[in-house]
Structure 1
Amino acid sequence: MTNPKLQLTSEQRALVGTVRELARDKFQGRAMDYLDGTFPMQNMKDLADIGVLGMSIPEQYGGSDMSVFDTALVIEEVSKVCYVTAMALMGEVGVQVRVISNFAPESMKQDILPKVCTGEALLAVCMTEPHAGTDVPNYKTNTTIKGDRAVVNGVKTLISRADEAEWFVVFSRIDNQPGRDGIGCVLVNRHTPGFEVTARYHTMGGENLAEIRFENCEVPVENVILREGGFKKLLSAFNTQRCLNPSVSLGLAEGAFEAAIKYVRERTIFGKTVGQFQGIRWKLAEMYRDIEAGRSLLYRACLTANPFPNPHEAAIAKMFVNEMAIRVTSEALQVHGGYGFTDEYPVSRFYRGVRYGTLGGGATETLKDLVGKKLMEDFDPVDGFLSQGTF
C-alpha cells in the first residue's frame, strides 16, 4: 500500500510545476554564464518574483512558511538545470534563514526577513575555519560581550556568497568559553568596520567561495542571537542543511539521468540507437533504481522536520544521496561517450557540481560515524532492529 504521506498535494504539484517551468525556460539557457563564478542574480530575482525566496520565512514577515519538504522539492527542480543557482537558492531558504527565524530578536526579524523574501538582502552562513570544519568545538572565532556591544574576531573560510550577502550568520565562541558549550551565534552585516573578504576560491562546480576575516567587528549585543549553550540549537537548525544539500545532489542526478536518456535515444552506433544495447539499458535501470531509493530516504527525512529534521534520518539520507549522485552522474557521463566530457553537453556540469555534496553540510565520513554510534547505542540484543524504517 502506498504511503499517503509521500504523495504530493495539489499545492505542492503546482509549486513544483511553476519552478520547473521557470528553470527550463530561463535558468537552463543561462547555466553556462555562471561557471566562471558570476553570481546568478537574475535567477534569484526571478525566484523572488514567484515567492520562492520567502518560502522558509513566517508569513508575518512576508514569507509563506513552507515546510522543509517543500523547500527540498524546489531546490531539487532548480538543481536539474543549474547547480550554481541551486546553491545560491539554498542560502536563502536553508539554515541561515531558519536560524534567524527561530532565534533572532523580533526587531532583527522584522528588519532582515522581509528583505530576504524580495531578494533585497542575501544571507550567508560562516562555520568552517582554516583549521576546523566539522570540528565545531575547536572553532577559534570569538565574540566578546562588552556591555551593550559585542566584538567579533576570527577567520572563516570556504564561505558562499561572501561578495553578495548582506548578513552573515557566524558560528562563534562567546566570551572565550571552551568546547562545544561555548559556541553561539552572532549576526554581522557586511558593512561593519573590520569585516573583510581576504581570499577567493573558484570551485569546480562553478561558484566562488571565500575567506572572511573579522577584526574587531563591533555589533550591537542584540546581534548575538545565541550565547553559550547555543550549540545544540545551532546543530538542530543545521540538520535542515542535511536535507537541502542532498536535494541538490538528487536534482543533479535526475538532470544527468534525463540527459542520458535523451542522448541514448537519439545517438546511433552500428545501425542502432545506443539505448538498444543491453549494457546501456542496464546502466539506465541501475541509475533509476538508485535515484528512486535516494528520493525515498530524502523525502522521509524531510517529513520528520518539526521544525528541524530528525538528525539521524537526515544523516542517512544525506550520505546515501550524495554518494548515489556521484555514481549516477558518472554513469550518465559515461553513456555520452567523449561528448560527455565536453561543455557542450550539460552532463559535464552535473558531474562537476555533484562532487560538492559529500563535502558540505557534514562530510560523509562524519555522518557515517554518527549513524554507526547510534546503531551501537540502540541495538536490542534480543529483538534486534524492528522493521519500522526508523532508528
Structure 2
Amino acid sequence: MVILLGTMSTAEHSLALSNAAPGPAPWQRAAAGANLLTADGGLGVTIFEEITTMAVKAGAINLGQGFPDEDGPGAIAAAARQAIAAGTNQYAPGKGMPVLREAVAAHQQRFYGLAPDPDTEVIITTGATEALAATLLALTGPGDEVLTFEPFYDSYGAMIGLSGATHTTSPLRAPDFQPDLEHLEQAFTDRTRVVLVNNPHNPMGTVFNREALAKVVELAERYNAVIVMDEVYEHLTFGVPHIPVATLPGAAERTVTISSAGKTFSFTGWKIGWLHGPADLVAAIRTVKQFLSYSSGSPFQPAIAAALALDDSFYQGVAAGLQRKRDVLSEGLRRAGLEVFTPDGTYFINVDAAPLGVTDAPALARQLPELVGVAAIPVSVFCHADGAERTRSLLRFAFCKKIEVLEEAAARLATLQERLG
C-alpha cells in the first residue's frame, strides 16, 4: 500500500499510517520516545526549537542548547583545512580512517589503560548520535528492554522507540543525582538487553561514583545485558575522576564505549564520534552503521586524530576553563534565589525554582526569555510521565559560552526574583 503524505496534516498522516499497519509507525515510536507526540497523536516541535525561537524573538541569551560559542584549537582547524587542500574529500572507509581508529585506541590506552584493537574493535561514526543509533538498532528490538537513568538525553528515547524495544528507567534524584542502587536493581529484568549509561550525565551534570558503576556491571552480568556507555563528556569533569566502565572488573567483555570530538574540542558541527568494544559486538554494530551514513567527515578525521594526541595541558585547560564558567553562572543563579545543584561535569547546571514559589518549570522556561532575557530548558522534557512530575520545578542551563556572555546572563538572572514579584 502506498500512502501519499505530502498533502496531509500530521494527524492525517498518523491516521493513514495506523490504518495501513498494526501498531505505531517507526517515526511515531521515535517521536513518542523523545516526547514529541501531542495528546492527539500529532507531531510537536522539540523544546530546544521552541525555546530557541523564543530566545531569538526576545533577543535573549540562549543557555538552552549545549553547544559552545567558540571554536576549538586553531591548529586542529588548520589540520582539517590542510586535509581538504590535500584532497581528502571522498568517502572514508566504512569503519573510519586507520589514522583516527589508531588515535582512538591510543587515547584509551593513554588515559585509561584500555587497549582496543583499532582494526576490529573501533568504529568511527557520524558523531556519538550515530554510534548510539547503530548500537541500539543492532542490539535491541521488540521484546527487549533498554534501561537508562532518568532524566535521560532525548535521543535515547527516540532511538529506543525506533528499535521497537521498551524503554525502562531508574531515577536520579536531587540533590546529588547519583543512582538509587536499590531501585536500579529492581529495574533490571530478564528482558533487559541493554543498560545505556551517560556518564558524565546530561542533563544532570553528575559524574557517577565507582560504587554506582560497579553496581551497573554486577547487574549487567547477572542479567546478561550489554552495557552501552555514552562518555562524550569524559574530559569535562571538575575535581572528580571520570571512571570508564570498561576498566572495571568483568565489564570489558560486555561494554560498548561511545565518545566524540564535539564536546572536548568544541567542534560540534564536525560530527566525528567513535565507539569501541568487543569485536563481536562491534561487528554487529558496524553492520547497521554502514547502512546509516556509511562514512562521513573525511577531512575532519585526520584532524581529530591530531587533536586526540594533544598534551595533557590541553585537556586540563578545557576542564578548568569550563569550571570557571560554571562558577560564574552559578553565582547569578544563586542571586536569583534558585537552588543550584553544582555539577561535577558536563556543560550543564540544574536548578530548582521551588524556593521562588515556582513549581511549573516548563511555564517558567517559556517566560524567561522575555522576563529576564535568558533562555533555559525544563528538565521534565527529559523524562517519562512520572519522572516529569518529579522534576517539574527543575531547569537546566548550559554554561559552555564565552565568559562575558555568562557574566551578562548572570547579571540578568540575578533580577529574576524581583521580576517575578
TM-score norm. by structure 2 comes to 0.24
Q: Which has the higher contact order (CA 8 A, sep 6+)?
A: 2
Say which structure is richer in helix.
1
